[in-house]
A and B are shown apart, each in its own frame.
Chain A
Amino acid sequence: VTAVVQDLGWLAVRFVVDLGRLATFGMQIVRAAFLPPLRIRLFVGELFKLGVLSLVIISVCGLAVGMVLSLQGYNTLVRFGAEQSLGAVVGLSLVRELGPVLTALLATGRAGSATTAEIGTMVATEQLDALRMMSVDPVDLVVTPRAVAMLSVMPLLSALFIVCGLFGGYLVGVGLMGVDPGAYMSSLRSAVDFRDDIVGSFLKAVVFGALVGLIATYRGFTAVPTSAGVGSATTSTVVVASVTILIFDYFITALWGV
């Protein structure tokens, strides 16, 4: 029994220490992001890798989610004779929840894991040690452009996901199910509010972007310098970031009502 309690205590202590290190690491990133030199070229390169290269998966998934949402929503609404409200159902679901959450989960799998693997490989091949020997701060040169780029691309990717989803929902609802196009757009516009829904959606996307950027870079930066260590760090990024996104989504919705 004592050993079990000891293990539990050790896990709790390790969790708190890890959280403290993560917070310190986050502060280092914030400081490096605002202090010169600003790494604009590196930032643009990361925008390409994290944003442009994620565009296809985000668009296709957004379209598919919108289409299936419209199909399911229609089949439910038609039982109550409320199929004209399909636009509101699809719009609110995408804007308030599915857009930011699914974009963050997809970006974690597509871009977050790649970021961890890239930084972890730099750790394993001692490239970060080489930077330190040249008095170059690896957090400033390697970590900050990636974390800031992740924070920047998430709201844009989320907006594109939602627009693709609305288009997919329109295609199925109007083209396949025969809902009136005017009624679809009218219910969508009357249900979605800028201040309550759109701003909240982008707030969530920014928070998720910060979380994924922080977790992905931290896991890569602290990876065990072996090939197995890099693999383990990559897996850990996907698991930890996905769970964190879903937990934060609950608390953001519960506390701020968005």
Chain B
Amino acid sequence: MTRAPMRDFLVGCFVLAGLAAVAYLSFQVGGLS
């Protein structure tokens, strides 16, 4: 499979958004400190 910069960028954004959502739920909503 060849490199596709745009696709890789979108996947990176997706992973970051997912991790940000996990962090928000854990720290802001779940009260993890």
Q: Which residues of A contact B (CB under 8 A)?
A: 41-42, 44-45, 47-48, 51-52, 55, 91, 95, 153, 155-157, 159-160, 162-163, 166, 188-189, 192-194, 197-198, 201-202
Contact = CB atoms under 8 A, between A and B. Distances in A.
Contacts of B25: 95, 159, 162-163, 198, 201
Given A42-B1, A198-B26, A162 B21 contact: yes
Nearest to A193: B30
Interface string B3-22: 10001101101110111011
B31 A189 contact: yes
Contact of B1 (A45, A153, A162, A194): A45
Given A156-B19, A193-B31, A52 B14 contact: yes
Interface of B: 1, 3, 7-8, 10-11, 13-15, 17-19, 21-22, 24-26, 28-32
Tell me what chain A mostly uses at the interface: helix, strand, loop, or mixed.
helix
10 contacts: A47-B15, A48-B14, A155-B22, A156-B17, A159-B18, A159-B22, A189-B28, A194-B26, A194-B31, A198-B25
Tell me what chain B mostly uses at the interface: helix, strand, loop, or mixed.
helix
Contacts of B29: 91, 95, 166, 188-189, 192, 198
A144 B22 CA distance: 25
A258 to B, nearest CB: 13
A160 B21 contact: yes
Contacts of A193: 30-31
Given A156-B21, A163-B25, A48 B30 contact: no
Most chain A beta-carbon neighbours within 10 Å: one of B14, B17, B26, B32: B14
